[in-house]
């Protein structure tokens, strides 16, 4: 249906940069306008959680230049729907979200030159026009959890670390390797933890506790993998700059170590120059990168350009939720991986080539 399609006009990089440079002014305007126009119910929701609105404005402000730079209008719709779901669950009314988009359009129009705004505002106007159709899509659709996933989730939420460990470890058997249990049970349960946080059913503290238990359990499972003899293979694993979701890479690093690889796991949010320097010095066989948030896709692109120049002989494997929106922008990587097992399979393929 025509109304459901976002315009596919390419935004020039200089205009995405223009938007980025003027963000402090634009976000101030957005904030003032929203506070002025807010309905009473929304003001009550704001009073209950004063930080959330500022966080949302800041996140949307990072999101806009990122989706323009990567030319991914679908991601703008997805992320907006996700923000709307989170705020909606905290009492913001339907009319607030139209005001939110209008405030951005006004903020951009009154700050940037018309030559810039005419490229930038069509996506926001289109999103505004689509708002009535978005309400049904705004609720994230999740497959129901299996009995196994549900039982594990209950242990996580109750912070029953030992019971959660016994439960997961008890699942290991021939034909069901530890990494499969991480993917089949732990990852869906953590996804549900994220959704429960979004819905306001659990707190950030609950989410952190669940993640930390999962980190511990991941090592317990990895310890059950046979330790293979040391190979002449090295891997460097890091999140792209700004990205803090590093648990997937930490688990992959552990699995590679069990496979005999020499591993540098750097993890979260390291500045690009430091990553580039470390990777140059190590010159690893494979660089595994992760990007969860769409806002960090431009940082992923910049880093990969630099790495291709500097470490032309290293393979680059890129994974994480954010990549799903922008596969076409990463044709220069050796492989895009959806799952941890894809990353391990890639490493095992290299091992065979060098056997």
Interface with ligand B12 (CB under 6 A): 55, 79, 82, 183, 187, 190-191, 193-195, 198, 207-208, 211, 242-249, 251-252, 268, 288, 290, 292-293, 317, 319-321, 337, 339-340, 342-343
CA distance 208 to 194: 10
| Complex with ligand B12: residue 77 or 290, whichever CB lies closer | 290
What is the token pair recorded at 150?
């549900």
Q: What is the closest distance, in whole angstroms, from the C-beta atom of residue 339 to ligand B12 in the complex? A: 4
Q: What is the closest distance, in whole angstroms, from the C-beta atom of residue 69 to ligand B12 in the complex? A: 17
| Complex with ligand B12: residue 234 or 339, whichever CB lies closer | 339
Q: What is the closest distance, in whole angstroms, from the C-beta atom of residue 15 to ligand B12 in the complex? A: 24
| Complex with ligand B12: residue 37 or 302, whichever CB lies closer | 302
- Contact, 129 vs 7, CB < 8 A? no
Q: What is the closest distance, in whole angstroms, from the C-beta atom of residue 283 to ligand B12 in the complex? A: 18
CA distance 153 to 186: 8
| Complex with ligand B12: residue 105 or 185, whichever CB lies closer | 185
Q: How far is CA 152 from CA 143, 185, 190, in A?
A: 16, 7, 10
3-state secondary structure 178-193: HHHHHHHHHHHHHHHH
| Complex with ligand B12: residue 14 or 142, whichever CB lies closer | 142
Q: What is the closest distance, in whole angstroms, from the C-beta atom of residue 109 to ligand B12 in the complex? A: 26
Helix (H) / strand (E) element for 9: namely none
CA distance 269 to 315: 21
| Complex with ligand B12: residue 44 or 244, whichever CB lies closer | 244
Q: What is the closest distance, in whole angstroms, from the C-beta atom of residue 98 to ligand B12 in the complex? A: 20
Long-range contacts of 155-160 (CB under 8 A, 24+ apart): 156/189, 156/193, 156/209, 156/210, 156/213, 156/214, 157/193, 157/196, 157/202, 157/206, 157/210, 159/209, 159/210, 159/213
| Complex with ligand B12: residue 112 or 240, whichever CB lies closer | 240
Pairing mode, if any, of strands 315-319 and 262-267?
A: unpaired
CA distance 317 to 237: 9
Q: What is the closest distance, in whole angstroms, from the C-beta atom of residue 123 to ligand B12 in the complex? A: 17
- Contact, 45 vs 91, CB < 8 A? yes
């Amino acid at each position: 249906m025509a109304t459901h399609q976002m315009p596919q006009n390419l935004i020039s990089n200089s205009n995405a940069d223009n938007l980025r440079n003027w963000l402090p002014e634009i976000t101030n305007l957005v904030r003032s306008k929203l506070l002025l126009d807010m309905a009473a119910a929304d003001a009550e929701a704001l009073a209950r959680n004063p930080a959330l609105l500022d966080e949302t404005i800041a996140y949307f402000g990072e999101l806009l230049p990122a989706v323009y730079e990567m030319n991914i209008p679908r991601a703008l719709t997805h992320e907006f729907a996700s923000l709307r779901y989170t705020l909606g669950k905290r009492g913001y009314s339907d009319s607030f979200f139209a005001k939110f988009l209008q405030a951005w359009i006004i903020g951009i129009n009154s700050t940037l030159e018309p030559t810039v705004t005419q490229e930038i505002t069509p996506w926001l106007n289109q999103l505004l026009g689509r708002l009535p159709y978005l309400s049904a899509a705004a609720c994230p659709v999740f497959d129901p959890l299996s009995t196994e996933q549900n039982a594990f989730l209950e242990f996580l939420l109750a912070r029953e670390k030992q019971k959660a460990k016994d439960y997961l470890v008890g699942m290991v058997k021939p034909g069901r390797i530890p990494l499969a249990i991480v993917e089949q049970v732990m990852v869906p349960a953590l996804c549900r933890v994220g959704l429960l946080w979004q819905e306001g059913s659990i707190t950030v503290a609950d989410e952190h506790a669940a993640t930390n238990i999962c980190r511990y359990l991941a090592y317990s499972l990895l310890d059950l993998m046979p330790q293979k003899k040391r190979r002449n293979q090295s891997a460097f694993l890091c999140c792209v700059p700004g990205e803090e979701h590093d648990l997937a890479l930490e688990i992959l690093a552990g699995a590679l170590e069990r496979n005999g690889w020499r591993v540098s796991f750097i993890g979260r949010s390291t500045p690009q120059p430091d990553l580039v320097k470390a990777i140059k010095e190590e010159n690893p066989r494979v660089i595994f990168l992760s990007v969860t948030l769409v806002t960090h896709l431009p940082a992923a692109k910049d880093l990969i350009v630099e790495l291709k120049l500097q470490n032309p002989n290293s393979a680059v494997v890129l994974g994480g939720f954010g990549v799903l929106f922008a596969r076409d922008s990463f044709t220069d990587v050796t492989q895009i991986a959806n799952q941890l097992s894809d990353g391990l399979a890639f490493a095992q393929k290299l091992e065979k080539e060098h056997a």
